[in-house]
Chain A
Amino acid sequence: MIELVNVRKIFNAGNPSEFSALNSVSLNIGENKITVLTGPSGSGKTTLLSIIGCMSRPSAGRVKLSGREITSLPERFLTDIRRKTFGFIFQQPNLIKGISVLENVMLPAYPLGEKRSHLKEKAMKGLDALNISGKAMAKVEWLSGGEAQRAAIVRALINDPSIIIADEPTAHLDTKLSYRFMEIVEKFKTEGKTVIITSHDPLVYQSAVVDRVIGLRDGKIEGKPS
């Protein structure tokens, strides 16, 4: 489904602070699989994830999504692919303060110009599925950590993406909530979605639902000669 060939990412190229965050990463991620990227902090997990999720472009190498080369697409096309294909769950809930949970959840669909009544219905359904429809009108400041994360998950699902990307999703959750999160991930899989998670939390990468674990160190995939 997602294919990376010799992907490199260099920050501040040409500067004294030039830094190579990814060095020739080649990778194949299967459809309807749960893949976990692990590795120490600074090993390039987030960078790799943002390239997979069409958020940034590699300095060199190719990325293919369902066979289509997307490496040098203009931003507006990448964004279009991104918002229809990927749902993002971040380390922080990254909700926008001052507006309601419902509005936060609907936010990714705004540029698509969907009919308001449809969109609202979809959002309410999503909130209902994760048992937080009671908080729909609440401001995000009033949510607990677990609720905020569930709201963020509903937001990631609003455009019905086929791939879910989660960056260190359990970093700020306690054990109980982390298990709860893995249950949700399992549900994604049964719905036919592909899931990619970065984590150095054993609770995540040792979980039984995970299909594949990829280790990353210093911008290279471990156990593979580059």
Chain B
Amino acid sequence: MILHPTVIANLLSSAIATGMVVYAAYYGGQILKFWNLQSGDELQLVLERKTYLISTILSFVFALQLLSLFLYVFTADSLTPLFVGAMCAAGTLNVNGFGYPTLLLKIVNFLLAGLWLVLNHADNLGYDYPLIRKKYWLLMFIAPFIVIETVLESAYFLNMQADVITSCCGSLFSSEKANGLGSEIAALPSQPMMWTFYATLLLTLLVGSYSYLKGKAGYLYPVLSALMFVIAIAAMISFISLYIYELPTHHCPFCIVMQEYGYIGYLLYILLFLAVVSGMGSGVLLPFRGLESLRDLLPAFISKLLFLSVSSYLVFSTLVAYEIVSSNLVM
């Protein structure tokens, strides 16, 4: 294990997130078991009060999850000098088999927590707790993921041994040697990847704007927004990063959050996260439009989510376009 202040901060934050979510899930279980809206019993009053605690905790965990995602990448980057061959976070994450799975789970958990908050907000709109059971089932579903994330993250940091030769962004994300997921994406030919990116982006924006303007939300946009998220990350590795670094071979999705590039990566990733959470959130809510207590309120909320998602993708693509146009790299 490497005893580094930032490593301690990582482990602390994931332990806190797990503790909080397990605590919330315990009360979530009680709510699932004893909830009875018709009753004026003390127990029911206590449970209703607990819903406030659980929402507060989940909002906190959501924020923490986002921060810790960035902290994690930061940590990986700052540990780089300890590993031969690692030149940035990409290499450090590869020092053992737990680095990338942890990162993936962090993203998934952030999205799940975001969807929970969307569901929670919708539930709060209705006068009879219309989504209370679904909401807490989702919480029960999320809890194990957060626990696994903590286990993986601990395994990652505890199994770290300085001086292990690792691949770095030079080899992991470089198109020459094909190995691992990263290099497969980097190896995707730039041109087709570019076209896929632009085409999906255009489609997503069109479908989103149509749904928003016509007030006709459907399942197509949520699916597209999720697909767009994956493609955007792939595009980031495949060609967007090249323009930002102005280096024709540096395919790294992490370095762009570093100081050298004006922290532009934060803005890009936050926009992507916002877009995918609100986009998918709008889809998650669709089946509940018919519920008595939500009938009048849900469409407006879904429409807000659509707006948020479409405009985030729009700002994202504007930024990317700006980076590409203003870049000194010509491909």
A interface list, Cβ under 8 A from B: 12-14, 57-61, 71-77
The smallest beta-carbon distance between A171 and chain B, in angstroms, is 29
**A-B residue pairs in contact (CB < 8 Å), sample of 22:** A12-B42, A13-B41, A13-B42, A14-B42, A57-B40, A57-B45, A58-B40, A59-B40, A59-B41, A59-B42, A60-B40, A61-B40, A71-B40, A72-B37, A72-B40, A72-B128, A74-B124, A74-B128, A74-B129, A75-B49, A76-B124, A77-B127
Within 230-257 of B, Cβ neighbours of A (below 8 Å) are at none
> Is B38 an interface residue, CB under 8 A from the partner?
yes
Give the size range of B's interface with the partner: 10 to 19
Q: Which residue of A lies closest to B40 (CB)?
A: A59
Q: Which residues of B contact A76 (CB under 8 A)?
A: 124
Q: Which residues of B contact A60 (CB under 8 A)?
A: 40
Q: Which residue of B lies closest to A61 (CB)?
A: B40
The smallest beta-carbon distance between A19 and chain B, in angstroms, is 12
> Is B184 an interface residue, CB under 8 A from the partner?
no
Q: Which residue of B lies closest to A11 (CB)?
A: B42
The CA of A74 and the CA of B48, in the complex, are separated in Å by: 8
The CA of A176 and the CA of B129, in the complex, are separated in Å by: 49
In the bound complex, do residue B127 and residue A73 qualify as a contact, i.e. CB atoms below 8 Å apart?
yes
Q: Which residues of B contact A74 (CB under 8 A)?
A: 48, 124, 127-129
The CA of A77 and the CA of B45, in the complex, are separated in Å by: 14
The CA of A72 and the CA of B45, in the complex, are separated in Å by: 10
Chief secondary structure at chain B's binding surface? loop
Q: Which residue of A lies closest to B38 (CB)?
A: A72
The smallest beta-carbon distance between B131 and chain A, in angstroms, is 12
The CA of A209 and the CA of B42, in the complex, are separated in Å by: 39
Q: Which residues of B contact A14 (CB under 8 A)?
A: 42
Closest 8 pairs between A and B when the two form their complex, measured CB to CB = A59-B40, A13-B42, A77-B127, A72-B37, A57-B40, A58-B40, A73-B127, A60-B40
The smallest beta-carbon distance between A65 and chain B, in angstroms, is 13
Q: Which residues of B contact A73 (CB under 8 A)?
A: 127-128
The CA of A76 and the CA of B120, in the complex, are separated in Å by: 14
Q: Which residue of A lies closest to B132 (CB)?
A: A74
Chief secondary structure at chain A's binding surface? loop
Q: Which residues of B contact A57 (CB under 8 A)?
A: 40, 45
Q: Which residues of A contact B41 (CB under 8 A)?
A: 13, 59
Q: Which residue of B lies closest to A68 (CB)?
A: B127
The smallest beta-carbon distance between B250 and chain A, in angstroms, is 48
Q: Which residue of B lies closest to A60 (CB)?
A: B40
Q: Which residues of B contact A58 (CB under 8 A)?
A: 40
Q: Which residues of A contact B124 (CB under 8 A)?
A: 74, 76
Q: Which residues of A contact B38 (CB under 8 A)?
A: 72
- 11 more A-B residue pairs beyond the given contacts A72-B37, A72-B38, A74-B127, with a C-beta to C-beta distance below 8 A: A13-B42, A14-B42, A57-B45, A59-B40, A59-B41, A60-B40, A61-B40, A72-B40, A73-B128, A74-B129, A77-B127
The smallest beta-carbon distance between B184 and chain A, in angstroms, is 49
Q: Which residues of B contact A61 (CB under 8 A)?
A: 40
Q: Which residues of A contact B129 (CB under 8 A)?
A: 74
The CA of A197 and the CA of B37, in the complex, are separated in Å by: 30
Q: Which residue of B lies closest to A7 (CB)?
A: B40
Q: Which residue of B lies closest to A73 (CB)?
A: B127
The CA of A58 and the CA of B41, in the complex, are separated in Å by: 8
Q: Which residues of B contact A72 (CB under 8 A)?
A: 37-38, 40, 128
Residues 108-131 of B, flagged 1 when their CB comes within 8 A of A and 0 if not, give 000000000000000010011100
Query: Could you say which of B40, B41, B42, B124 has the most chain A C-beta atoms within 10 Å of its C-beta?
Result: B40
Q: Which residues of A contact B37 (CB under 8 A)?
A: 72
The smallest beta-carbon distance between A76 and chain B, in angstroms, is 7
The smallest beta-carbon distance between A70 and chain B, in angstroms, is 9
Q: Which residue of A lies closest to B124 (CB)?
A: A76
The CA of A75 and the CA of B37, in the complex, are separated in Å by: 12
The smallest beta-carbon distance between B238 and chain A, in angstroms, is 46
Q: Which residue of B lies closest to A18 (CB)?
A: B42
The smallest beta-carbon distance between B87 and chain A, in angstroms, is 51
Q: Which residue of B lies closest to A80 (CB)?
A: B127
Q: Which residues of A contact B127 (CB under 8 A)?
A: 73-74, 77
Residues 36-65 of B, flagged 1 when their CB comes within 8 A of A and 0 if not, give 011011100100110000000000000000
Q: Which residues of A contact B45 (CB under 8 A)?
A: 57
Q: Which residue of B lies closest to A58 (CB)?
A: B40
Residues 163-182 of B, flagged 1 when their CB comes within 8 A of A and 0 if not, give 00000000000000000000
The CA of A14 and the CA of B46, in the complex, are separated in Å by: 14
The CA of A58 and the CA of B48, in the complex, are separated in Å by: 14
The smallest beta-carbon distance between A21 and chain B, in angstroms, is 13
The CA of A57 and the CA of B39, in the complex, are separated in Å by: 10
The CA of A60 and the CA of B40, in the complex, are separated in Å by: 6
